[in-house]
Every structure is written in C-alpha cells, then in structure tokens.
A = this chain, B = another copy of it.
Amino acid sequence: MELENILNEMNHKGYKTTEKRRNILQVLINHQSSFLSADTILCQAKKINTHINMSTVYRNLLLLEELHLVHKILSEDGIANYKLVQVHTHHHHIICRSCGKTDIIDYCPIKELNTLVEEKHFKLTEHKLELYGYCENCIKNKNN
C-alpha cells in the first residue's frame, strides 16, 4: 500500500496526517519485507527527520496495529517487532534469522489441526505459526 493511501484511510477515521506519522510509515514502507523493532524504527525515522521521540513511535505502532495496518510479533527475547500488512487474507511468515527478511507462506495447516483439536475436546479460536530460517541472500553471502 502507498503512503498516501494509508494516510487517507487514517484521515477518514479521524486521525491526522502529521510529519512524524508520515516518517514512521515511510520507514515501514521502506522495509516492507522485514519485521522491525520499535528501536530500529526510531533510528530509521531519525535518519529522515532528526527530531522524533520513542513514545511517538510506540503510539503510532499501537494505532496502526489496532487499524490492522501493521502486524506485530514477539521475538524469542520478548521484543515486539512490526511490519506493514501487505496481504489482508490469512497467511503466515517465514522469517530470516540473519537479516530479518520475511516472505509470505500461503499454506495454513488449520484443517488438519481442527480434527485433532476436536479430539482433545478443545474449541479452537486462534493459532500462531511462524517459520524461521535463512533466506537466499544470506545463504549465498554466508552472513550467518
């Protein structure tokens, strides 16, 4: 999605277009295929616009998540990582352990799982599936 489209969508819902919000979104667009930490997003945003505060970053990420414009996942060490939602249909991710690059996995094992879950007498509500590995580039460059 384009920057202006996102901002327009937000405007329609009563949220304003500000310089800082634009900067944060620009960072997310520039790294559309990676999950970034709030800290990384702040650093990148500072390259665009020197004065921007961490609380502004968090507040915007929270809002974007609520609007389903951003995906949030937790890394093993409990740090939140964010990326722009590209596909609005249900999907999962494969994430590179070396560079953080992600790709979309269109398969979901929910059908196979449903039967097993029923056997256990659970009623399934959600599931979390994340794949980790090394991407083509990182394998080539042996950056791991």
Contact = CB atoms under 8 A, between A and B. Distances in A.
Contacts of A121: 135-136
A68 to B, nearest CB: 15
A125 to B, nearest CB: 5
A120 B132 contact: no
Nearest to A108: B109
A117 B129 contact: no
A128 interface: yes
A117 B102 CA distance: 11
A127 B132 contact: yes
A94 B109 contact: no
Contact of A130 (B112, B127, B132, B135): B127
